[in-house]
Amino acid sequence: MEAYDAFEDPYAYPGTTVLKNLLGIRDQATLDAFELEISTLRAEDPLPDGEFDAAHYRNIHRHLFQDVYEWAGQYRTVRTSKGGHAFCYPEYIAAQMDGLFQHLRRGEIFIALRSDAFIFEIAQFLEQINAIHPFREGNGRVQLAFIGLIGATFNHPLDFEKLCHAEFLNAMIASFSGNLDPLIDELKMLLI
């Protein structure tokens, strides 16, 4: 797991960067392994139904991380950044999420799109949701689960077995700087 920039984090055990968790795990490597294993298992379960809105997105986070974090499904309450890039301040997360999901119009924007238009909309969504980074942890996994659900629902299924994590991460970083082309290329490779 890539570490977030350092700050006094009420989500972490005092004096550490290990996030407080339901099992009381205080070793980062052990927590990372547990979190990945349990969220992967939860992702194999049917994801929560919803209307492709902010509440649906939060419910997917809760579903994936309910066994790990007490705050699963809740927006973060601290400022955070990664690699020197600040994410949305917590006091603006709810409004930014509502605005982003209003654009999706409960998924209506995906109806009857050709593959290229679908990929472009998904890339724009990922760029914006990543900049908001609404949760303290687990943002990337929720993003993939959510776009997978969108793809399956609107006849553009995605095959995440084809995902190269390093390349996808680099594409997400490029999108944070406004360059969607690498992300679009990565998403095209996932289409079935």
pLDDT at 160: 96
Task: Provide the 10 A C-beta neighbour count for residue 106.
Answer: 13
Q: What pLDDT digit, counting tens, does each position of 23-36 carry? A: 999 999 999 999 99
Domains, the chain, ordered by start: 28-78+88-190 (1.10.3290.10)
Q: What pLDDT digit, counting tens, does each position of 130-187 carry? A: 999 999 999 999 999 999 999 999 999 999 999 999 999 999 999 998 999 999 999 9
User: What's the pTM?
Assistant: 0.93
Ranges of H-type helices in the chain: 28-44, 54-65, 90-104, 115-132, 139-153, 165-176, 181-190
